[in-house]
Structure 1
Amino acid sequence: MEPNDDINLTEKLFTRVKKVQETSQISNRSAPDTDEEPELERPFIDGSYSRNWYRLLRRPSWIWQGADPLELEEVLSRIAISKGERSHKQYLDTVKGYIPGNWNYEWSQLAGRYHQQGKQEAVQGKPDAALESLLKAVRYYSIASYPHLKNDELADQAQLLGTQAYREAGKLFSVPVKELQVPFHGKTIQGFLHLPTTERPVPLVMVSGGIDSLSIDFINLYQKYLEPAGIGMLALDMPGIGYAEQWPLVQDTSRLHQAVLNYLSEVPWVDHQRIAMVGFRLAGNVAARLAFIEPFKLRAVVCIGAGVNQVFMQPELFAKCPRMMRDSLANRLGADAADWDILRTKCQVFSLKVQGLLSTRTSVPILSIGHKQDFICPESDIRALANASRSGKAIVYDKEALLDVHQKGIMETISWLKQHLTI
């Protein structure tokens, strides 16, 4: 790909950003860990942790969402070998400023090339090629913004460009993407609505991710799995992130999604009697809460690696959260991750057991998926969620490769949604 000779929007935006705070300093004023023996890279259910990287490297998720494996490794290599000044020498991905080697810079450059290519292909009358290029741009802009911290100026610019590319790509679908605006406390909750058809009301799945993902991250789930099944998708941000960053994360984690769920009865393209929710990580907490408090409006729920109890209540589990994860959580709470004890205490309110929900049973069928080695959603929590549903099911993986687990979990999810929404 050859970059356009004109100064594109990427450069216009980022050249205005001179000296900005580097991502790892946004929500944590403490020094990095300084163990004498560096810890080897260790797996997470949705990525891997290395003491040499501030960010969790979510290769399986990124590849599944559309990133090219070779391009992914090329960018990570450029970041790793950079000679630029770092906020923390220990972390390869903390190069300061919008310069080569900076995380946001490297991913945004790649995204910008795909964005420009997609625009050109659209003008040339190549809609399929344009859609593919624009969705690559969306994927890389999202990685550039990752972990999407509020008040991170470079991340905000990447999110803006990613959303623009998403809108441009949305025009090229067989049914153009619609943007839903849901009134809530004098503001609006925004979501991207994907529909397989507008000729009749369709079953719908609300989808959200964890505290470090955006609503634009789930297009692959719709394209490959939901659309062929005749199921629509409404992608929503979690409180404190993306379009919902103006609302902090609070004990009532589901308040935004509940407002959207109530609003969907007014949307003519949606069969409001066939609505489900899929929640990854902390959004699994949201999905589970909705299953208890809105049992007559949800047909089914899927919780994947959901944080629902023990990680918030067991100090030894909470302490396993890597720096980026605790920073992201603090950022959504409007707190400083350096205040570890305060942060841990604040997060105890998210336990669905403390809230009294896990001691009841809901009529909504809950599919609870997780991995035996995942500290965020240990096996006991996976099974407790399923047992709290009169028609619940628990799937606990063990020893499978991360990418295989991800794919298997998605296939189980789609099977569950088809069973409860389309049959």
Structure 2
Amino acid sequence: MSEPEILNLSEKLFSHQRKIQETSMISNSAEPLCVSPGEQVLIEGLCSSAWYRLLRRAFWIWQGAEPIEIEEILARIANSDAKRTHDQLLDTVQGYLPGNWIYEWSQTAGQYQKLGKELERVGERRAAREAYLKATRYYSIASYPHLKGDELAEQAQLLANQAYREAGRLLKVPLKLIKVPFRGKEILGYLHLPVEDRPVPIVMVSGSIDSLQMDFYRFFKEYLKPLGIGMLSLDMPGIGYASHWPLVQDSSRLHQAVLHHIKDLPWVDSQRIGMVGFRLAGNIAARLAYLEPAHLKLAVCIGPGLNQYFMDPALFNRSPPMMRASLANRLGEDAANWANLQTQCQVFSLKRQGLVGVTRTRVPILSIGHKQDFICPESDIRTLASSSHYGKAVVMDKLPMKEVFEKALSETCDWLKLHFHL
């Protein structure tokens, strides 16, 4: 797509004359929860009574956003005097205009997208690729938390994917788009390869209910590629390219279909396919370890929602507003009916499903978590590890989160080297 075409697409997507529903109202018809005054540090990020969204600064920086630009954008949002859906929540400015979350992040993203085109035009391919990746990062943050039905966010997400593919063209081994037929539609995933002249071990990677598959490029570049491992990133059910399919008890059905499809691809070593799942995707990785022992070589579950979060109302009720809306959105429900959702979500407990803590799998499972995490308490971390004949638990208790995250990825790589026999 040429630069004028991209600019025209951006203008067309965001040129709205009618009123568009603001993000905090998506999947939540109730008044916002009363959050404790001040700030609270969660594993996901900073929960503040002044913001609807969890502010994930450390993760955004790790993924490639610039610290100064992050603060400048947040300041523009905070200082806006435009009309807000909720006066006390800074990031609820209505309409695609200055001060609106999606608008402000998209403006910076668009600048990087334009820069990428200019650099590519003069032959600076490497610099162009980095500019496209910056555009991807900011468009992705603009879309965050990526709620289905949030029209402006979905448009930012479209531009994020466009920028990611532009960057992918300029990689030494170009990005591949994998299409897997499933129930009359297609599951789309991004395949990154260290080389393409021989089959390589592959890990399927997915994140939480508020992340996109574009969020894991650095994981591939700095951790997997040096080991000669490829990465197939996939969206969770109900989000991004997988938004056609809601999150249901058979939460691993999309990944299971992909697992069966990719083992026949020429770039994939079919005997060495694993899955790395962050948060709820860790639930999926653990589930696959039980359902697909003949095809899944290993699983890594980082802070996974496994049992207690779904079964204990006290833990479930600790979810902040954005997390509630995100979960409800993936289920096609309304977060206002939170008590009913808690009952409905009990089906995601892998213990209730007769798996984790009930039987054991021969697939090696690395279970990683943090002592302060209400979504995956220490007992769940250890139970998951003991549910594999070759399991290992890693429980961390230190902060800051950037160091915790990097420690988790380092442990993951050691696990991959061990069980992929690298």
For Structure 1 versus Structure 2, the TM-score category normalised by the shorter chain is over 0.9
Per the TM alignment, residue 284 of structure 1 is displaced from its structure 2 partner at its CA by: 0.3
Counterparts of 2:193 and 2:18 in 1: how far apart (Å)?
41
Question: Which residue identity is paired with 1:166?
Answer: Y
| Higher mean C-alpha displacement, 411-420 vs 374-383 | 411-420
Alignment match, 1:106: 104
Per the TM alignment, residue 121 of structure 1 is displaced from its structure 2 partner at its CA by: 0.6
Counterparts of 2:302 and 2:114 in 1: how far apart (Å)?
35
Contact 2:78 2:99 (C-alpha < 8 Å) held by counterparts: yes
Counterparts of 1:322 and 1:355 in 2: how far apart (Å)?
26
Query: What does residue range 7-406 of structure 1 map to in structure 2 within 5 Å?
Result: 8-16=8-16, 18-34=18-34, 38-358=36-356, 359-406=358-405
Counterparts of 1:11 and 1:113 in 2: how far apart (Å)?
13
SS at match of 2:336: coil
Decide whether aligned partners of structure 1 residues 183 and 30 sit closer, same or farther in structure 2, where only a CA change above 3 A counts.
same
Contact 1:18 1:98 (C-alpha < 8 Å) held by counterparts: no
Structure 2: which 5+ residue stretches go unaligned? Answer: none
SS at match of 2:277: strand
Contact 2:398 2:404 (C-alpha < 8 Å) held by counterparts: no
Counterparts of 2:159 and 2:15 in 1: how far apart (Å)?
14
Per the TM alignment, residue 17 of structure 1 is displaced from its structure 2 partner at its CA by: 5.9
Per the TM alignment, residue 215 of structure 1 is displaced from its structure 2 partner at its CA by: 0.8
Counterparts of 1:420 and 1:320 in 2: how far apart (Å)?
36
Contact 2:238 2:247 (C-alpha < 8 Å) held by counterparts: yes
Contact 2:238 2:246 (C-alpha < 8 Å) held by counterparts: yes
Question: Which residue identity is paired with 2:208?
Answer: G
Counterparts of 2:118 and 2:417 in 1: how far apart (Å)?
38
Counterparts of 1:59 and 1:361 in 2: how far apart (Å)?
38
Contact 1:238 1:283 (C-alpha < 8 Å) held by counterparts: yes
SS at match of 1:338: helix
Aligned residues: 418
Per the TM alignment, residue 230 of structure 1 is displaced from its structure 2 partner at its CA by: 0.6
Asked if 1:415 is matched to 2:406, the reply is no
Counterparts of 1:109 and 1:99 in 2: how far apart (Å)?
10
Counterparts of 1:102 and 1:86 in 2: how far apart (Å)?
9
SS at match of 1:266: coil
Contact 2:298 2:365 (C-alpha < 8 Å) held by counterparts: yes
Per the TM alignment, residue 342 of structure 1 is displaced from its structure 2 partner at its CA by: 1.1
Per the TM alignment, residue 10 of structure 1 is displaced from its structure 2 partner at its CA by: 2.2
Per the TM alignment, residue 7 of structure 1 is displaced from its structure 2 partner at its CA by: 5.1
Q: Percent identity?
A: 63
Counterparts of 2:163 and 2:399 in 1: how far apart (Å)?
35
Counterparts of 2:256 and 2:7 in 1: how far apart (Å)?
43
Per the TM alignment, residue 419 of structure 1 is displaced from its structure 2 partner at its CA by: 1.6
Per the TM alignment, residue 33 of structure 1 is displaced from its structure 2 partner at its CA by: 2.5
Per the TM alignment, residue 202 of structure 1 is displaced from its structure 2 partner at its CA by: 0.4
Per the TM alignment, residue 40 of structure 1 is displaced from its structure 2 partner at its CA by: 2.1
CA RMSD of aligned residues (A): 1.4
Contact 2:177 2:189 (C-alpha < 8 Å) held by counterparts: yes
SS at match of 1:394: strand
Question: Which residue identity is paired with 1:407?
Answer: E
SS at match of 2:54: coil
Question: Which residue identity is paired with 2:119?
Answer: E
Decide whether aligned partners of structure 1 residues 351 and 124 sit closer, same or farther in structure 2, where only a CA change above 3 A counts.
same
TM-score (norm 1): 0.97
Per the TM alignment, residue 206 of structure 1 is displaced from its structure 2 partner at its CA by: 0.2
Per the TM alignment, residue 74 of structure 1 is displaced from its structure 2 partner at its CA by: 1.0
Question: Which residue identity is paired with 1:245?
Answer: S
Question: Which residue identity is paired with 2:320?
Answer: P
TM-score (norm 2): 0.97
| Higher mean C-alpha displacement, 341-350 vs 396-405 | 396-405
Per the TM alignment, residue 83 of structure 1 is displaced from its structure 2 partner at its CA by: 0.6
**Would you identify which runs of 4 or more consecutive aligned residues in structure 1 move more than 4 Å?**
none
1:62-107: CA deviations, max 9, x gaps?
Answer: 1111111111111111111111111011211000000111000000
Contact 1:17 1:98 (C-alpha < 8 Å) held by counterparts: no
Question: Which residue identity is paired with 1:240?
Answer: G
Per the TM alignment, residue 412 of structure 1 is displaced from its structure 2 partner at its CA by: 1.0
Decide whether aligned partners of structure 1 residues 274 and 7 sit closer, same or farther in structure 2, where only a CA change above 3 A counts.
closer
Per the TM alignment, residue 34 of structure 1 is displaced from its structure 2 partner at its CA by: 3.9
Counterparts of 2:7 and 2:293 in 1: how far apart (Å)?
52
